[in-house]
């Protein structure tokens, strides 16, 4: 059986009341969730940089090993060429071996220079790594404080929030999908999170623009869904000033 417009308005307005209470709970948390997320992202970025530093250090250490092997190889060749030089038969052979000795000596000098440069790079990377570790520790302390603060706030409202979420799930089942989509879209564009409002004192309860009397009469009848022509919010009903005054009078009488 299809719901009447009045039932649809009642269901969507009830959903709005629940969402407003959930919004109030979330508002108490302020910017903490975003701050926690930002810190977690920042630390994750630092961890990536740390891994890069460690990889760079390993790469430079591999370079040093390679150049040390080059030096050993060149030293072997130098000994070999020196032995050959002792048994040359002519100047041409002697000059050729001498050039080979000079070449291997140059290879050793270049390798030693590369080893020194790689060592300096390792030292700098280790300094950077230590500084980044210190920075990470500081940011981790900030994150732990923020998370503890957020956890405390969340735990205080956890029971109420759980109940409201259960109520919301039930309320959602009473609203058709098309209306939920419209409501969700309006809420997303509203600063105060209100997608469904009442007309109060002749004005929209969301944007406070005046609602004409004839339009108010149509809203009271609840024969069709009517939205505010200024902000697009769904107008669920009209709260009459007379009813409000009677309520206030009853409250004053009860206190007296």
250 pLDDT tier (thresholds 50, 70, 90): low
* Distance between CA atoms of residues 202 and 116, nearest Å: 83
- Mean pLDDT, residues 188-203 taken together: 94
| Structure-token pair, residue 239 | 């709260």
- pTM > 0.85: yes or no: no
Cβ neighbours for 7, distance < 8 A, ≥ 6 positions apart: none
Give the mean pLDDT of the chain.
92
**Is the four-CA dihedral 143, 144, 149, 151 of positive or negative sign?**
positive
C-alpha pair distances (Å), 103 with each of 64, 114, 202, 246: 20, 16, 98, 107
What is residue 108's predicted lDDT score, i.e. its pLDDT?
97
Cβ neighbours for 219, distance < 8 A, ≥ 6 positions apart: 199, 211, 226, 235, 237, 238
Q: Is the pLDDT of residue 150 over 90?
A: yes
State what percent of residues in the chain have pLDDT above 70.
Answer: 93
Residues 208/41, Cβ–Cβ less than 8 Å = no
What is residue 244's predicted lDDT score, i.e. its pLDDT?
47
**pLDDT tens across 16-69, in order?**
999 999 999 999 999 999 999 999 999 999 999 999 999 999 999 999 999 999
Using DSSP bridges, classify how beta strands 196-200 and 234-239 pair: parallel, antiparallel or unpaired.
parallel
* Distance between CA atoms of residues 167 and 19, nearest Å: 10
Q: Is the pLDDT of residue 240 over 80?
A: no
Q: Is the pLDDT of residue 200 over 50?
A: yes
Q: Provide the CA 190 distance to its chain's centre, in angstroms.
A: 22
Q: Is the pLDDT of residue 92 over 90?
A: yes
* Distance between CA atoms of residues 12 and 37, nearest Å: 32
């Amino acid at each position: 059986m299809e719901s009447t417009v009045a039932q649809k308005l009642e269901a969507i307005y009830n959903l709005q009341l629940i969402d407003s209470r959930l919004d109030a709970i979330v508002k108490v948390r302020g910017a903490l969730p975003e701050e926690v997320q930002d810190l977690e992202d920042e630390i994750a970025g630092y961890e990536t940089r740390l891994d890069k530093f460690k990889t760079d250090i390993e790469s430079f250490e591999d370079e040093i090993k390679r150049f040390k092997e080059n030096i050993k190889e060149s030293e072997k060749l130098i000994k070999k060429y020196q032995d050959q030089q002792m048994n040359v038969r002519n100047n041409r052979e002697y000059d050729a071996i001498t050039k080979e000795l000079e070449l291997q000596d140059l290879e050793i000098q270049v390798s030693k220079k590369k080893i020194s440069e790689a060592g300096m790079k390792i030292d700098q990377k280790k300094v950077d790594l230590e500084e980044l570790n210190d920075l990470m520790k500081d940011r981790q302390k900030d994150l732990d404080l923020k998370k503890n603060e957020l956890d405390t706030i969340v735990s205080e409202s956890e029971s109420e929030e759980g109940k409201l979420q259960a109520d919301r799930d039930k309320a959602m089942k009473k609203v058709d999908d098309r209306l939920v989509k419209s409501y969700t879209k309006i809420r997303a564009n509203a600063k105060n999170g209100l997608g469904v409002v009442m007309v109060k004192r002749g004005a929209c309860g969301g944007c406070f623009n005046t609602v004409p009397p004839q339009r108010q009469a149509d809203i009271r009848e609840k024969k069709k869904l009517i939205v505010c022509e200024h902000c697009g919010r769904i107008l669920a009903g009209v709260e009459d000033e007379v009813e409000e005054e009677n309520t206030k009078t009853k409250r004053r009488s009860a206190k007296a």
